[in-house]
Amino acid sequence: MKQKQFGYLNLPANNKVEQTKKRSPNGTELRLLEFLWRIMQKPKLQLKLWDGTVVGSDEENVPKLVINSPKMLWRFLMNPNISFGDGYSAGEIDVEGDMLHFMEAVFSSRPSLHDSNWIQRYALNRPRLVRRNTLGGSRDNIHHHYDLGNEFYRLWLDEEMLYTCAYFPDPGMSLEAAQIAKMEHVCRKLRLTPGEQVVEAGCGWGALSLYMARRYGVSVKAFNVSREQMQWARERAKREGLANQVEFITDDYRNVSGAFDVFVSVGMLEHVGRENYAEMGHVIDRCLKDQGRGLVHSIGQLESRPMNGWIEKRIFPGAYPPTLSEITKLFEPWKLEVTDVENLRLHYAKTLEHWLARFETHAQQIAMTYDAAFARAWRLYLVGSLAHFNIGALQLYQVVFNRVSNNNLPWSRAHLYKGASE
């Protein structure tokens, strides 16, 4: 299974590369590297080659991208985005210095679509086919990521197994507390009352569904196409005596039927695919009662550009982070009004810091259970994501919406902060 999922494992192993290591880089290679660094708007970093040659920033003590072989160099020049990730995973590319600073420098220097010319767009953001989220495609894409094995995620997620942005009203709180705070924040935004019917689209390991049922006395139908996650969720529901209140349905959210008071979706929209937003709006409209309301929680970005190519290819096939205007457009045709948007960008950075720290604690174990390339790929993905949120290349939006026919709205958002210390 690993071999099939992680194609970069087929890259040449380090020992094969050794043979070509001695040759010096030629003039063309150096000129192309210099060119690449220039069109990246000269970030504060250097490119270091196998023989010690350095290209890039004149400054000292900047992080270095180390390319270990001519073959890797050419792969990198042809497609920097994908081959950086694959090369790093395979150990043919390394980073010297602070990896987070390195990633922040790379992503900060990326020109916006708005400002860039076609050479920059092509070289840095190679167009590629994204796997489509048809009903079957979604299933495959989700299995790729979420069925890696619950044991893997248990090593570095919190106890509730929440694989989405936590909420840190106090930045010093633990990840466990911040994930509970997130669920409570979402429930307050939804203004749940006992006996209401809730549909959750993309419920992960089921923590939020169970929390809503336990703490707010609602009934939940929760959808997810990941079999492993749903098995875990069902067992937990039984164990906690909530199986009669929460129904976990292994199916696409698009097959939802019935009428609900509340629609909620945390961390699914990123996987829906832009081409399906109109359909998603239609599904929400179809299943929401007249007094209906809901919340969508999603990673977002400022420009509608494809997901980082390597992450899309290796980690999250089919993923696309929408812009806020794309999210709000999802609701507008259905007479659903947005009542509240909160951007939790720095909360996702904080969440990723926690995940990364836990991941590093278990990195050896993960490399042994899976392999070194797998462990390196996941480190890169976590550090890269952290860099994206730190520099504002990604956002996290919580969007609350409401049928316009529903005038039963609170007069302020103060109820979200009752008992808040800050």
409 contacts a copy of itself (rule: CB under 8 A): yes
Encoding tokens for residue 271? 């996987």
- With respect to a copy of itself, which residue has the nearer C-beta, 248 or 348? 348
* Per-residue mark of binding to a copy of itself, 283-312 (x: CB under 8 A): -------------------xx---------
- Would you tell me the crossing angle of helices 99-109 and 372-391 to the nearest 10 degrees? 60
- In whole angstroms, the minimum distance from the beta carbon of 411 to a copy of itself comes to 5
- With respect to a copy of itself, which residue has the nearer C-beta, 118 or 411? 411
3-class DSSP assignment, residue 191: coil
- With respect to a copy of itself, which residue has the nearer C-beta, 17 or 181? 181
- With respect to a copy of itself, which residue has the nearer C-beta, 53 or 343? 343
- With respect to a copy of itself, which residue has the nearer C-beta, 73 or 400? 400
Q: Are the C-beta atoms of residues 65 and 47 closer than 8 Å to each other? A: yes
5 contacts a copy of itself (rule: CB under 8 A): no
- In whole angstroms, the minimum distance from the beta carbon of 336 to a copy of itself comes to 8
* Nearest one of 308, 340, 339, 323 to 395, comparing CA atoms: 323
99 contacts a copy of itself (rule: CB under 8 A): no
Which range in 140-148, 204-212, 266-274, 408-416 contacts a copy of itself by CB under 8 A? 408-416
Instruction: Supply the DSSP string of 203-263, one letter for each residue.
Output: -TTSHHHHHHHHHH--EEEEEE--HHHHHHHHHHHHHTT-TTTEEEEES-GGG--S-EEEE
- In whole angstroms, the minimum distance from the beta carbon of 100 to a copy of itself comes to 14
Following CA atoms 391, 113, 328, 183 in sequence, which dihedral angle do they give, to the nearest 10 degrees?
A: -30
Site for a copy of itself in 129-168 (CB under 8 A): 168
Q: Which of 159, 170, 235, 275 binds a copy of itself (CB under 8 A)?
A: 170
Q: Which of 32, 243, 338, 372 binds a copy of itself (CB under 8 A)?
A: 338
Q: Which of 136, 171, 217, 258 binds a copy of itself (CB under 8 A)?
A: 171
DSSP code for 303: S
- In whole angstroms, the minimum distance from the beta carbon of 406 to a copy of itself comes to 8
Residue type, 311: I
Our measurement of the distance from residue 292's CA atom to the centroid of its chain's CA atoms, rounded to an integer in Å, reads 28
* Per-residue mark of binding to a copy of itself, 110-129 (x: CB under 8 A): --x-x---------------
Q: Which of 228, 279, 337, 353 binds a copy of itself (CB under 8 A)?
A: 337
Which range in 213-221, 336-344, 362-370, 375-383 contacts a copy of itself by CB under 8 A? 336-344
Q: Are strands 288-300 and 395-403 parallel, antiparallel or unpaired?
A: antiparallel
Q: How far is CA 381 from CA 214, 307, 356, in A?
A: 34, 12, 10
* Per-residue mark of binding to a copy of itself, 372-391 (x: CB under 8 A): ------------------xx
Q: Is 375 left (phi over 0), alpha (psi -120 to 50) or beta?
A: alpha
Encoding tokens for residue 157? 């997620």
Q: Cα separation of 280 and 60, whole Å? A: 50
Q: Which of 23, 193, 335, 364 binds a copy of itself (CB under 8 A)?
A: 335
Q: Cα separation of 167 and 93, whole Å? A: 35
Which range in 117-125, 186-194, 290-298, 326-334 contacts a copy of itself by CB under 8 A? 326-334
215 contacts a copy of itself (rule: CB under 8 A): no
* Nearest one of 288, 291, 285, 319 to 305, comparing CA atoms: 319
Which range in 209-217, 307-315, 328-336, 371-379 contacts a copy of itself by CB under 8 A? 328-336
Q: Which of 182, 189, 345, 354 binds a copy of itself (CB under 8 A)?
A: 345
Say which residue the tokens 């705070």 belong to: 181
Q: Which of 57, 120, 291, 328 binds a copy of itself (CB under 8 A)?
A: 328
58 contacts a copy of itself (rule: CB under 8 A): no
Residue 386 CB neighbours (<10 A)? 23
Q: Cα separation of 38 and 28, whole Å? A: 15
Overall size of the chain counted in residues: 422
Apex 379 CA angle, 394 and 387, nearest 5: 25
Residues that bind a copy of itself (CB under 8 A): 112, 114, 168-171, 302-303, 323-326, 328-329, 331-333, 335-343, 345-347, 390-393, 395, 404-405, 407, 409-417, 420, 422
